[in-house]
Amino acid sequence: MSGIDEITLNFSPASLTLLNAILAVVMFSIAIDLKPSDFHRLRRAPKPLIVGLLSQFLVLPVLTFAMVWFTDPRPSIALGLILVAACPGGNISNFITHRAGGNAALSVSMTGFATVGAILLTPVNIGLWGGLYPPTRAILQQTEIDPLQIAITVGLMLVLPLVLGVQLNMRNPDLTARIRRPLQWLSMGIFIAFIVLALAANWAFFLQFAGAVAGLVVLHNALALGGGWLTATLAGLSPFDRRAVTIETGIQNSGLGLVLIFAFFGGLGGMAVAAAFWGIWHAISGLALAALMSRTEAAR
C-alpha cells in the first residue's frame, strides 16, 4: 500500500480554480441566511458558540491525532485526516442540523465564526498536529507550505463570500429571501457534480486505495460526531444546542480540504482520497443521524 504515498491525482489548475469558485458560491448561499443580529444574540449568550468552536478546533484535532497515533495509517492518509480535522465545519452542516431538529441558527453562526477563525486556526492545526507525528512531519518538511498562503486561500474562498452574503442580506432582505433556497440547492448540486467528475477522472486510483481509507474515515467521522456530542454534554448545553454542536463537529469542509491538498500538496494520493471519501461519507452519516435525532423533539 506504499504507493498511495507517492501517487498524485489528476487535477488541472483550471479545475482547482473552478472548485474555488464553487466553494465561494456555496459559502455565499449560507451567508445570506445570516444577519448581524444573529451574532449580537450569540454575544449576549456565547456559551454554545464557544463550546462548539472548542469542539471544532481543539477536541477534533486532538482526537484525530490520537487516532492516527494508534492506528498508524500510511503517512499521506494520516496527513489527509489531520488536514480535514483542521478545516472549519462543512457547508451542509446547517441543512443537516435543521433536519435533525437542532439549533440551526447556532449551526449557521458556528459555520460563520469557524470560517473566519480558519484563516488562522486551519494552518496552525495542520502545522501543529502534522508536525507532532513523525511520518506526517516528513511530508510537511518536503512540502514547506506557507501558512500565509493557506490563510489567503481560506479568506478568498470562504470569508469574502461570507462578508458579501451578510451585507446583501442586510441591504436587500427581499432579494435574499427569494434566492436563498434555490441558490443553496444549486450550489450544492454543482459541488456534488464536481466531486463526482473529479472522482471519475481518478476512478482507478480511488478504487485501488479506497479500501485502505474507508474504515479510517468512518472511524474518524464517528470520533468527530461522538467528540462533539460529548463536549456539548459535558459543557451542559441543552439538547437543542447539543445537536448543532455534534453535527457541526462531525461535518467537515472537505471541499476546502481538497483545495488545500491540490494547491499546496500537489494532489498527494492518500490525502486526496481521504478528503474525497470524507466528502461522501459525512453526508451519509450526517443525514442518517439527523433522521434518528428528528424522531424526538429536542428540549431547549
Which pLDDT value is given to residue 237? 95
Written as nine digits, the cell of 56 is: 471544532
Sign of the torsion formed by the C-alpha atoms of 16, 144, 217 and 105: negative
Flag whether 52 is in a domain.
yes
Which pLDDT value is given to residue 126? 94
Which pLDDT value is given to residue 6? 59
Which residues of the chain are under the pLDDT cut of 50? Answer: 1-2
Judge contact between 187 and 22, C-beta under 8 A: yes
Query: Residue 242 region, left (φ>0) first, then alpha (ψ -120 to 50), else beta?
Result: alpha
Flag whether 133 is in a domain.
yes
Flag whether 176 is in a domain.
no
Written as nine digits, the cell of 80 is: 489527509
Note the pLDDT tens digit of each residue in 230-251.
999 999 999 999 999 999 999 9
The neighbour count for residue 156, using CB atoms within 10 Å, is 12
Q: Which residues contact 237 (CB under 8 A, 6 or more apart)?
A: 47, 48, 51, 245
Which pLDDT value is given to residue 292? 94
Domain holding 52, by residue range, is 2-11+37-150+199-293
Which pLDDT value is given to residue 95? 80
Can you tell me the distance from the alpha carbon of 214 to that of 237, in angstroms, rounded to the nearest whole number? Answer: 32
Closest CA to 13 of 259, 276, 279, 271: 259
Flag whether 88 is in a domain.
yes
Which pLDDT value is given to residue 125? 95
Distance of CA 200 to the CA centre of its chain: 22
Can you tell me the distance from the alpha carbon of 289 to that of 284, in angstroms, rounded to the nearest whole number? Answer: 9
Closest CA to 257 of 137, 90, 117: 90
Flag whether 55 is in a domain.
yes
Query: Residue 7 region, left (φ>0) first, then alpha (ψ -120 to 50), else beta?
Result: beta
Which pLDDT value is given to residue 2? 46
**Domain of 272: which CATH number?**
1.20.1530.20
Can you tell me the distance from the alpha carbon of 139 to that of 285, in angstroms, rounded to the nearest whole number? Answer: 30
Note the pLDDT tens digit of each residue in 55-82.
999 999 999 999 999 999 999 999 999 9
Helix (H, G, I), strand (E, B) or coil at 3: helix
Which pLDDT value is given to residue 298? 81
Flag whether 172 is in a domain.
no
Can you tell me the distance from the alpha carbon of 135 to that of 279, in angstroms, rounded to the nearest whole number? Answer: 24
Flag whether 179 is in a domain.
no
Flag whether 22 is in a domain.
no
The residues facing 198 across adjacent strands are: none
Give the total number of structural domains in the chain: 1
